[in-house]
Amino acid sequence: MVLVLSLALLIWLIGRQIQLPHQARWLLIGLLYVAVLGIHTVLPAEASLRQATGGSAAQWLILGGFVALALLYREMLRRLRAKVAPTAPVQGAPQGPFSEAELDRYARHIVLREIGGVGQKSLKDAKVLVIGAGGLGSPVSLYLAATGVGTIGIIDSDVVSVSNLARQVIHTDERSGMPKVFSAEAAMKAQNPHITVKPYNRALTEEIAEALFDEFDLVIDGTDSFETRALVNRACVATGTPLISGAISQWEGQVSLFDPVRGAPCYACIFPKEPAAGLAPSCAEGGVAGPLPGVIGTLMAMEAVKEITQAGETLAGRMLVYDALDARSREIKLSRNPECPVCKDAS
């Protein structure tokens, strides 16, 4: 086998020396490969020439299969680049919406029929605001960054503490004491340097909510305070911004998409009043299974991708509830409350 590979290398080097085109060099190496297969097909097993070229055709067939797969993958990437890049580039203008590095990074997304180059471009153009950089905000932010959402805002006034690290996977021990939004920004930029991250190291208040939400196409709420969720919902209804909301407690989590402008209910339609004390304990009060925020947060990120790319059916008008302890999930149908004081005038 070494002999044949040495001959292939020699053919390539001589071809380069005499400035033979790449295609011609590959053709000569292909002829050598066919000749070796012919030797193993025609000559008996004990023939010295067959022994000198590996002794068996099986290894050459396997090698040929790997080479064919590599060439096929390369051709797929070439076609994807041609599909996304402009057909008639303007002199001095960027060559399409994606760089070579971005095309390689998002190739698995672009080959999905439901997303494609157009959907990936929508993700790159999208502006998404994540409320909270904690248990749910961690997986949401990381996956939005990895997926290629172009601009990601994240607002939180808290700092990283050691007690966060069992479930808030965007933070690290060495960033303990750092504001969560800056810790999240560092992780997101390390994951994908092609995105823009806007950290807001402050609490969300009534005074800033609507103006802030107006800058974004989609809001994702991962907070654990009913008061904040109600505020986020009011601002989303006022600005007509779709809202993906998730919640976790102990072993159970839920996620839905609230969008009354497009006929779905708002958060207040389903949860008009704050639950009674002790009925819905926070993570600090009731505890939470470490991986659960990852499950629910990832579902929230998936809903965001679908909402932005218009792929599939979102959770608008539905709530998905996941019980990790029994490994079961169920769906609850949701409808608008025509008398909802928050969204009854939304259209």
pLDDT value at residue 93? 35
Question: How many Å separate Cα 103 from the centre of its chain?
Answer: 14
CA distances from 167 to 133, 137, 162, 170, 221 (A): 11, 11, 10, 9, 17
In a domain, 88, yes or no: no
Termini Cα distance of the chain: 72
pLDDT value at residue 67? 72
In a domain, 113, yes or no: no
In a domain, 89, yes or no: no
Domain of residue 8 covers: 2-82
What is the number of structural domains in the chain? 2
pLDDT value at residue 95? 45
- Does 6 share its domain with 154? no
Of the three residues 34, 53, 82, the one that is the final residue of a domain is 82
Of the three residues 82, 111, 144, the one that is the final residue of a domain is 82
- Does 155 share its domain with 52? no
C-alpha–C-alpha distance, residues 114 and 313, integer Å? 11
In a domain, 344, yes or no: no
Asked if residue 223 lies in contact with residue 129, where contact means CB atoms within 8 angstroms, the answer is no
- Does 76 share its domain with 139? no
3-state class of 36 per DSSP? helix
Predicted confidence pLDDT, tens digits, the chain (347 residues)? 666 667 666 666 676 667 666 666 667 677 766 676 666 676 666 667 666 666 666 666 676 666 777 767 766 766 666 555 444 443 433 345 888 999 999 999 999 999 999 999 999 999 999 999 999 999 999 999 999 999 999 999 999 999 999 999 999 999 999 999 999 999 999 999 999 999 999 999 999 999 999 999 999 999 988 999 999 999 999 999 999 999 998 999 999 999 999 999 999 999 998 876 665 666 666 788 989 999 999 999 999 999 999 999 999 999 999 999 999 999 999 999 999 999 988 76
**How would you classify the pairing of strands 196-200 and 127-131?**
unpaired
C-alpha–C-alpha distance, residues 104 and 81, integer Å? 9
- Does 62 share its domain with 129? no
- Does 205 share its domain with 130? yes
Asked if residue 144 lies in contact with residue 301, where contact means CB atoms within 8 angstroms, the answer is yes
Which among 51, 46, 54 is positioned nearest to 8, based on CA atoms?
54
CA distances from 212 to 155, 241, 314 (A): 10, 11, 24
CATH number, residue 198: 3.40.50.720
Q: Which two tokens stand for residue 315?
A: 């959770």
CB atoms within 10 A of CB 183: 25
Asked if residue 307 lies in contact with residue 242, where contact means CB atoms within 8 angstroms, the answer is yes
Of the three residues 82, 108, 142, the one that is the final residue of a domain is 82
In a domain, 230, yes or no: yes
Tell me the whole-structure pTM to 2 decimals: 0.72
- Does 267 share its domain with 321? yes
pLDDT value at residue 324? 95
- Does 254 share its domain with 206? yes
Letter for the amino acid at 241? T
pLDDT value at residue 282? 64
- Does 76 share its domain with 124? no
- Does 78 share its domain with 157? no
C-alpha–C-alpha distance, residues 11 and 47, integer Å? 25
- Does 208 share its domain with 309? yes
C-alpha–C-alpha distance, residues 18 and 10, integer Å? 12
In a domain, 92, yes or no: no
- Does 142 share its domain with 230? yes
What DSSP element (H or E) covers 254? strand 252-258
Q: Which two tokens stand for residue 67?
A: 């080479």
C-alpha–C-alpha distance, residues 227 and 239, integer Å? 19
